[in-house]
Copies of this chain bind each other. A is one copy, B any other.
Amino acid sequence: MKALIVDDDLALSDVVSFTMRRAGFDVITAHDGRSALERWEAEDPDIIILDLNLPKLDGLSVCKSIRDEGDTPIIILSVRGDEEDVVKGLELGADDYIVKPFSPRQLVARAEAVLRRAKSAPVTPGPMSAGDFMLDPARNDVRIGDDDNIQLTQLECRLLEVLMLNSGQVLTSASIIDSVWGSEGADRVMLKQLVYRLRRKIESEPSEPVHLITISGVGYSFEV
């Protein structure tokens, strides 16, 4: 998750950045309105923490511009006494606001709440099956036939999910990496390692895999 922090008060900006980083966000910062828009376009963050009082281009204009061209969730930072601007901001489509001074915890809680609301689509990743495999992405586990459930790590689970979704098809390493690691990216070595670890859990003879098949020079394929 990537957060864009926009605040011209450097001290506060640092506090906010630190808080968000500790909560697991990648943080980008901007200190005036114009650069905020630039960073937004360049980095495509998942959420924006936006101070209203900005040099060069005020927060409300930033808010409006972003809403005109996209739907990145926005949380407004306002000082007490600024209620009018907050209302304008919310009317412009901001998702929530926090009045300074605020507790770091509140900030994180609101950010996560807004994000959860925004991506309400992939809510219930219901169990899926392919052949003998029953995968439950919510629980990170898989059951093969009538055996006991096998606990997977998150990465293993996402890898198996991608493969099972495209059962029988050959997926290139690049596309698998894209699906599993997302925008962060990863190299082939990491995928190789992950495949190895997953095989040890789901293949009865890991050195002679029958489900997670290597297509040399291309990628991998899941066979039932």
Contacts and interface: CB of A to CB of B under 8 A. Distances in A.
A183 B109 contact: yes
Contact of A154 (B108, B138, B174, B217): B217
Given A83-B101, A87-B101, A91-B103, 18 more contacts: A80-B81, A83-B102, A84-B101, A87-B103, A87-B106, A90-B105, A90-B106, A90-B109, A106-B183, A106-B184, A108-B185, A109-B181, A109-B184, A110-B185, A116-B175, A138-B170, A138-B218, A153-B217
B153 A109 contact: no
A184 to B, nearest CB: 7
How many monomers of this chain does the complex have? 2
A215 B140 contact: yes
A185, A215, A221 pick with most chain B CB within 10 angstroms? A185
A204 interface: no
Contacts of A139: 170, 215, 218, 221
A20 to B, nearest CB: 13
A91 to B, nearest CB: 5
Given A139-B221, A170-B139, A178 B215 contact: no
Given A108-B185, A218-B140, A83 B84 contact: no
